[in-house]
């Protein structure tokens, strides 16, 4: 199942993106410098691994592969992140890296940013 997030910013911040004052990369960087937004994204990324065992944790991510269509008010980007595991019974610590692509839709009037993560294939 795809994860969904709804974040908010000032309508002026979206206007800065749409009129070319800031890049899409800078727009997203600004959004995720806000600790609550960063924390929400880490939680959403964790959700993709919560059933892996080993008490997975996601504490950080980096943004990549920026694509934005100002006419459609839609964008896409990738989160690259590390998943840390701790298997308590064996006291083993592991880590792995993953990427999740996100679709973005802006609502300029309200400052709403709707995000939808990719669908994960599950065995039938």
Residue-by-residue pLDDT tens, the chain, 124 positions = 789 999 999 999 999 999 999 999 999 999 999 999 999 999 999 888 776 665 777 888 999 999 999 999 999 999 999 888 776 665 555 777 889 999 999 999 999 999 999 987 665 5
Instruction: Count CA atoms within 13 Å of residue 42 on its CB side.
Output: 17
Number of domains in the chain: 1
Q: Is residue 123 domain-resident?
A: no
Q: Is residue 122 domain-resident?
A: no
Q: Is residue 83 domain-resident?
A: yes
How much is the pLDDT for 7?
97
How much is the pLDDT for 115?
97
Q: Is residue 81 domain-resident?
A: yes
Which domain, by its residues, includes 37?
A: 4-117
Q: Is residue 124 domain-resident?
A: no
Query: What is the DSSP secondary structure assignment for residue 38, as one 8-state letter?
Result: H
Element (H, E) at 43: helix 35-47
Q: Is residue 90 domain-resident?
A: yes
Q: Is residue 97 domain-resident?
A: yes
How much is the pLDDT for 49?
77
How much is the pLDDT for 39?
94
Q: Is residue 18 domain-resident?
A: yes
| 3-class SS of residue 56 | coil
């Amino acid at each position: 199942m795809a994860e969904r997030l709804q974040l908010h910013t000032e309508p002026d911040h979206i206007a800065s993106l749409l009129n070319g004052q800031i890049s899409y990369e800078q727009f997203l960087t600004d959004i995720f410098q806000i600790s609550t937004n960063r924390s929400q994204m880490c939680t959403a990324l964790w959700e993709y691994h919560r059933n892996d065992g080993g008490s997975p944790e996601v504490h950080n991510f980096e943004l990549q592969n920026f694509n934005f269509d100002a006419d459609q008010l839609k964008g896409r980007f990738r989160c690259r992140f590390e998943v840390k595991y701790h298997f308590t019974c064996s006291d083993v610590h592991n880590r792995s890296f993953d990427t999740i692509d996100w679709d973005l839709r802006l609502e300029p009037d309200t400052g709403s940013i709707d995000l939808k993560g990719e669908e994960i294939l599950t065995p039938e």
